[in-house]
Amino acid sequence: MKRSTTQSNGTKGSNHAASFQAVFDTRKRKVVGLWKRGSRFYAQLRVDLGNGRTAPRRIALDADNLDAAKAAMERTRTQRRDDKLPQTGFRPKFSDFAQEYLDGPILAQKKTGTQENERQSLKKWCAHLGGIRLDKISPTLIHAFREKRLSQGRSPRTANLDTVALRNVLKLARDRGLIERLPEVRQLKQKPAQKRPLMTKEQFAQLLAATNETTTKNAALFRFYLRFLALSGSREQEALAVRWADVDFTRGMVTIGSGGVAKNHRQRDVDFSPELERLMHELAATRPPDCTWVFPSPQRGAKDIHAMRLRDSLNAVRKEAGLPWIGFHDLRHFFASQCVMAGLDFMTISQWLGHSDGGILVGKVYGHLADSHKRVCRHRILWTRDRATQTP
């Protein structure tokens, strides 16, 4: 027969250290549902097994004294009532669950570039975390990974993006009940991106002038493409995926993103300006009879496919023009800023750009104006004259 002993921590138990012991309060009364093994407290609850039956289950509590254990047990009972108790049993290794995330539908719904970035980040996380279980991933491990990335010369922004990929996997694990909460990790402070200069009309004309057969063999197609980006505000891949079925000359508009390639997966209509309408008629006049796409692939042969990328042409043309900083997205900024300087309302511009914020982003990001426009505007300001200088 085992001899029971009264312990100074409020528990009574046997001399077998590995067994669960009932917990007693300071008046030697048993605390119902509270147990202790070694130095750790546990709450014992009856839980639904999902088959119409219930069974007792002991849940480890985050507490180091009796009062904290009582409070933690009440929180656990609330979780049971709300059906939010963490699952018990097998916890997969991070590397195994990360692969499940990579093969699942959540990642597949994201853009191709985003998928590739997350795959690269999670490959590094798997190498760092090794065979660690999901529920054992701590802020300390995450900090160690980020410090390693920074020591390799990576920017805080890159380390933050890596952490986002990790959190996406852990969010899925939380949703499946494999972990109770996400590790609390703050983003690293990163320097704000430098404000890019606004491309002027003169620089755009300079870019078009450098687009010739000597600079790039796709000169005619690429010149049309640059003009379309600057006159429609389309993103690089959105423009390449425009079909002739998306162009409505009767209503005077072109639909962007009809194939789901838009950033927010929602199509939008851009109304023809006089210059955009002229451009679309020029494109229609050069359209191959067997082509569906506004910008067909130069290497399509007998296939009806659109151009995949025109980056090589961009690199050659901007070098020839002496404008190495210009990218395709600068033409989107150019479009938005020209609209703002023309006096158009932000809501209309935001609809053409595909924003859903009613024009807030246009004002904050895309509405940076050319210096020449600001110099003209300052002369429009009428200040009230001082009464002493006013003539009757």
Whole-angstrom distance, CA of residue 231 vs CA of residue 263: 19
Answer yes or no: do 348 and 214 share one domain: yes
Q: Is residue 89 part of a domain?
A: no
Locus of tokens 């194939």: 259
Query: Residue 120, Cα to own-chain centre: how many angstroms?
Result: 15
- Identify which has the larger pLDDT, 190 or 138: 138
pLDDT for 195-249, tens place per residue?
778 899 999 999 999 999 999 999 999 999 999 999 999 999 999 999 999 999 9
Q: What local confidence, expressed as pLDDT, does residue 130 receive?
A: 77
Q: Which helix (H) or strand (E) holds 232?
A: helix 219-232
Whole-angstrom distance, CA of residue 21 vs CA of residue 38: 9
pLDDT at 30 over 80: yes
Nearest alpha carbon to residue 318 among 307, 329, 310, 326: 326
Q: Which helix (H) or strand (E) holds 88?
A: none
Task: Please state whether 83 falls in left (phi above 0), alpha (psi between -120 and 50) or beta.
Answer: left
User: CA 282, 284, 289 angle in degrees (round to 5)?
Assistant: 140
pLDDT at 65 over 80: yes
Q: How confident is the model at residue 373 (pLDDT cuts 50, 70, 90)?
A: low
Q: What is the amino acid identity at position 56?
A: P
pLDDT at 357 over 90: no
* Average pLDDT of the chain to the nearest whole number: 85
Answer yes or no: do 256 and 335 share one domain: yes
Q: What local confidence, expressed as pLDDT, does residue 228 receive?
A: 97
pLDDT at 277 over 70: yes
Instruction: Name the domain boundary from 81, 106, 122.
Output: 81
Nearest alpha carbon to residue 221 among 233, 212, 230: 212
What's the CATH number where 159 sits?
Answer: 1.10.150.130
How many structural domains are present in the chain?
Answer: 3
Nearest alpha carbon to residue 175 among 184, 163, 167: 167
User: CA 262, 267, 269 angle in degrees (round to 5)?
Assistant: 120
Collect all residues with Cβ–Cβ distance below 8 Å to 63 and sequence separation of at least 6. Answer: 41, 69, 71, 72
pLDDT at 83 over 80: no
Q: Is residue 128 part of a domain?
A: yes
- SS3 assignment, position 3: coil
Q: What local confidence, expressed as pLDDT, does residue 176 receive?
A: 80
What's the CATH number where 227 sits?
Answer: 1.10.443.10
Domain extent, residue 32, equals 5-81
Instruction: Name the domain boundary from 20, 50, 81.
Output: 81
pLDDT for 284-298, tens place per residue?
999 988 899 999 998
Task: Please state whether 111 falls in left (phi above 0), alpha (psi between -120 and 50) or beta.
Answer: beta
Q: How confident is the model at residue 143 (pLDDT cuts 50, 70, 90)?
A: very high
User: Which tokens hold the place of 126?
Assistant: 């798997």
- Identify which has the larger pLDDT, 108 or 265: 108
Answer yes or no: do 340 and 371 share one domain: yes
Answer yes or no: do 217 and 353 share one domain: yes
Answer yes or no: do 217 and 161 share one domain: no
pLDDT at 88 over 70: no
Answer yes or no: do 19 and 101 share one domain: no
Answer yes or no: do 98 and 75 share one domain: no
Burial status of residue 152 (CB atoms within 10 A of its CB: 0-12, 13-18, 19 or more): exposed
Q: What is the amino acid identity at position 180?
A: E
Task: Please state whether 347 falls in left (phi above 0), alpha (psi between -120 and 50) or beta.
Answer: alpha
What's 293's DSSP letter?
A: B
Answer yes or no: do 212 and 354 share one domain: yes
Q: How far is CA 347 from CA 224, 320, 353, 356, 359, in A?
A: 27, 37, 10, 9, 5
Answer yes or no: do 345 and 234 share one domain: yes
Q: Is residue 25 part of a domain?
A: yes
Q: What is the mean pLDDT of residues 342-350?
A: 88
